[in-house]
Structure 1
C-alpha cells in the first residue's frame, strides 16, 4: 500500500538561503505524523509546500502515490487547520462546517446530512445553529477540524493549532485531537515546537533542525534512543556536560568535563576516540538522590552537592543541585518518597547515576553545544 504522503528530496531555497534541505519521508495511511522543531527550523515551509502554497526548489510531493507538484492548492486532496482556526464569525457552526461543501456544489440535503454526521463525530451534536463566538476554545478547535474533515481529504495538515490555547485546554485538546484522528481514520500531519504535543499524540515524530530531519521515530525512540546530540538535548529535559574523552573500554568511556570532573558514560556504538570532544546527556529521572554517599555505592557517578532550588510541579517536580567541586547545576527529578518530602534549599545531598545512562555524542560546536536555532522559515 502506497503511503498517504511521501516527500522525496524536498528542498526549498529563498534568495540563496536553504530553508528545507533535501528532506525525504513518508507517512503511512491513517497515521498521526508530527514534525517537531524549534522556530525557524523549516517545518512550516514543508507544510506550505505540501499544501501547495509554496513551490519546492527541488524534489517531489506525492499523495497516495501521485505527484501533486503541478496541482493548485484548491485541487489537492489535503486540507489545513491553521493556528488561529480562521472560522467565519458571521456564520453559525453548521454554515462554517458546510462552507467547503457549498463551494463544491453539493445539494443542500446532502450538506445538512454531512454536517450533522461531522458534529456527531466531534462530540458536538445539535450545536449547528450556535454562533462561533458562543463556543469555547476547545469547541472551536473541533469545529475547525470538522470543517476540514467533511471534505474527506486524504491528508489533514495542522499548523500548530493548539498554540493560541491556554495551558489546561491545550493539555485537554492533545487527547481530543488523538481521539478525533482515530475517529476519522484520516492521516494527520502536525507541526509544532512543543515536544509534549508531538510525543503524546503521534505515531511517528520527525525532529527537525536547520532544514533537515535529525531523526524520525516513535516518541519512545526519540526519548530513550536519540541518534544525535540535538535530539538528546531538544526532546525532554537533560543535563549536558561537554568535555574530552580520557579513555574508552568497550562502550564505556571516561569523560573529563570542562569543569574538571571525571564521569563515566556510554558510546552506544558511536565512533568515539580518546581525545575527542564530546557531550554527555543524562535525564533528570535517571539520577538518584541519597543523604549519604554509601547509599549510592552501586552507581558509577556520584556527586556531593547542595540543593539550590526546588522546582515544584507535582509528580514532575525537580531540584537543582550544585556540586561541591564547583561548576553548574544538576537537574534531578525530585523523589516522591516521604524521606525527601522536606528537602529544601541548602540541604546537602548526594546524587548518582550509572554510566550507561550517560549518552555521549561527538561535540557539534566549538563549545560542545547542540546546533543553535535559526530565525528563518
Structure 2
C-alpha cells in the first residue's frame, strides 16, 4: 500500500480534539408496525475515531445507520451531530456521507467526474473541483488517474475512489455499510488495513457496520456488539474478546469452546459446572451471582488450552482432560485440532506452530489443560 501523504484540504489537517464527540445517539427506537427493530439504543462516537456496529443479519445495525443518514426517522429518541439534532433534517442537509456495499460508482463517468459529482451539485467552480479531486486522489494513494474509467480499476481501487467521493465533501461523519462484503477474501483482508489507514489519514469519524467480527476487531477503536435491536456491549476490541459482558458477546466475538451445564460447586469466586455429558469444568470467574443448581454456560478460547503428552505436565491447571485428536484444522498460523475427550465431547485447541505438537496426527492420544481464570461463565438463558 502506498503511504498516504498530507495535502492542503481542510479535512486533512492535523489531529482533532478527540475528547469531544461527532455523533450522539440518545435512546433511539425504531418500530415497523408491531416489530421493534431498534430498542432504546444510546451511544456516542468520538471525533476522529473508527466506531463499528457488529452483529448478525437482522439485529438492527442497518436501521441505525439509515436513521443517522436520514433515510429513516426514529420512532423516538434523538440523533445529534456535533451537538445539533438531526431530527427532521433531510439526508442531503446532514453533514454525513455514506459508502454502500456495492459502492454505487457511476460507470459512465471517469474517476474525476465520480469524485467531483457532489462538488458539482454544490455549485463549486470547475478549477476548484479539479484541485480538490487531485488532492484527494493523492491522499488515497491514487494520483494521476483522474481520466481513467471505473471499469479499469481493481476492486480495492474502486473502494478507495468511493471513499474519496465521500471525503471530498468533507463530512463530519462517514457511514460505511458493509463496504467489503462484495470483495474476495484476500482483497477483504488487504482492504481492512487500507480502510484503517485511510480513516487515520483523513482524521474523519467513521461509523462502520458489519457482521464480520474480523473486520470490526482489526479496524475499530470502539465496537458495539448488537443483538435483537439492542447493544449487548460497547468497548475496545480487547475488552470484547477477553472480558465479554454477556454470553452472546462471548460466543459471537472470536472462536470459543462452549459448554452448557449445571453449577455443581460454588465457593467464593470459583464454580464448577457439570455438563450434560458429565464433564466437570472449573471456572474462576464466578462473580455473576451463580448459585448451586443453576444452569450456566462456560466459554473458553482455543488458544488458552495447553497440550501435553503426559498428564503430569499439566498439574498446574484447574482443568485437565485426556482424549484423542479427532480432526486436524490446518489454517497456516491459526492451525487447530479437535480433541475428543473421555465423555465424547470435542474441544477445539490452537496448536503451537513449532515443537513437538506441530505435527500431531489424527487419532493421536493427547492431554489438554487450562486455568479456571481463562474461562468466562454466564447464567444460561436457554
2:355 to 325, 338, 342: 338
CA distance in structure 1 between the aligned counterparts of 2:158 and 2:85, rounded to whole angstroms? 33
Between stretches 52-61 and 330-339, larger displacement belongs to 330-339
Alpha-carbon contact 1:13-1:57 (below 8 Å) kept:
yes
Question: Alpha-carbon deviation of 1:189?
Answer: 0.1
Aligned to 2:371: 354
Aligned residues: 364
Q: What SS does the corresponding residue of 1:340 show, helix, strand or coil? A: coil
CA distance in structure 2 between the aligned counterparts of 1:9 and 1:173, rounded to whole angstroms? 33
- 1:202 has 2:242 as partner: no
2:295 to 277, 283, 288: 277
Q: Which runs of 4+ in 1 moved over 3 A?
A: none
- Gaps (5+ residues) in structure 1? 366-377
User: Residues 125-178 of structure 1: CA distance to partner in whole angstroms, max 9, x if unpaired?
Assistant: 000100000000000000000000000000000000000011111001001001
CA distance in structure 2 between the aligned counterparts of 1:179 and 1:35, rounded to whole angstroms? 19
CA distance in structure 2 between the aligned counterparts of 1:19 and 1:174, rounded to whole angstroms? 28
CA distance in structure 2 between the aligned counterparts of 1:292 and 1:166, rounded to whole angstroms? 43
CA distance in structure 2 between the aligned counterparts of 1:358 and 1:2, rounded to whole angstroms? 36
CA distance in structure 2 between the aligned counterparts of 1:352 and 1:16, rounded to whole angstroms? 49
CA distance in structure 1 between the aligned counterparts of 2:202 and 2:327, rounded to whole angstroms? 46
CA distance in structure 1 between the aligned counterparts of 2:96 and 2:56, rounded to whole angstroms? 25
CA distance in structure 1 between the aligned counterparts of 2:131 and 2:381, rounded to whole angstroms? 57
Question: Alpha-carbon deviation of 1:268?
Answer: 4.9
Aligned to 1:264: 282
Alpha-carbon contact 1:2-1:65 (below 8 Å) kept:
no
CA distance in structure 2 between the aligned counterparts of 1:71 and 1:333, rounded to whole angstroms? 51
Aligned to 1:313: 331
Q: What SS does the corresponding residue of 2:39 show, helix, strand or coil? A: strand
1:13 to 11, 27, 31: 31
- 1:291 has 2:278 as partner: no
- Gaps (5+ residues) in structure 2? 1-18
- 1:139 has 2:157 as partner: yes
Q: What SS does the corresponding residue of 1:24 show, helix, strand or coil? A: strand
CA distance in structure 1 between the aligned counterparts of 2:115 and 2:160, rounded to whole angstroms? 10
User: Residues 229-281 of structure 1: CA distance to partner in whole angstroms, max 9, x if unpaired?
Assistant: 00000000000010111111221111111111111013352111111110000
Question: Alpha-carbon deviation of 1:325?
Answer: 2.1
Alpha-carbon contact 2:271-2:286 (below 8 Å) kept:
no
CA distance in structure 1 between the aligned counterparts of 2:278 and 2:251, rounded to whole angstroms? 22
Aligned to 2:210: 192
Alignment of 1:27-176 (within 5 A): 27-176=45-194
CA distance in structure 1 between the aligned counterparts of 2:106 and 2:371, rounded to whole angstroms? 56
CA distance in structure 1 between the aligned counterparts of 2:358 and 2:164, rounded to whole angstroms? 47
CA distance in structure 2 between the aligned counterparts of 1:75 and 1:343, rounded to whole angstroms? 61
Question: Alpha-carbon deviation of 1:2?
Answer: 4.2
Question: Alpha-carbon deviation of 1:91?
Answer: 0.3
CA distance in structure 2 between the aligned counterparts of 1:268 and 1:286, rounded to whole angstroms? 18
Q: What SS does the corresponding residue of 2:273 show, helix, strand or coil? A: strand
Aligned to 1:374: none
Q: What SS does the corresponding residue of 2:356 show, helix, strand or coil? A: helix
CA distance in structure 2 between the aligned counterparts of 1:2 and 1:349, rounded to whole angstroms? 53
CA distance in structure 1 between the aligned counterparts of 2:154 and 2:286, rounded to whole angstroms? 48
Alpha-carbon contact 2:260-2:275 (below 8 Å) kept:
yes
Alpha-carbon contact 2:28-2:39 (below 8 Å) kept:
yes
CA distance in structure 2 between the aligned counterparts of 1:197 and 1:358, rounded to whole angstroms? 25
2:198 to 173, 176, 180: 180
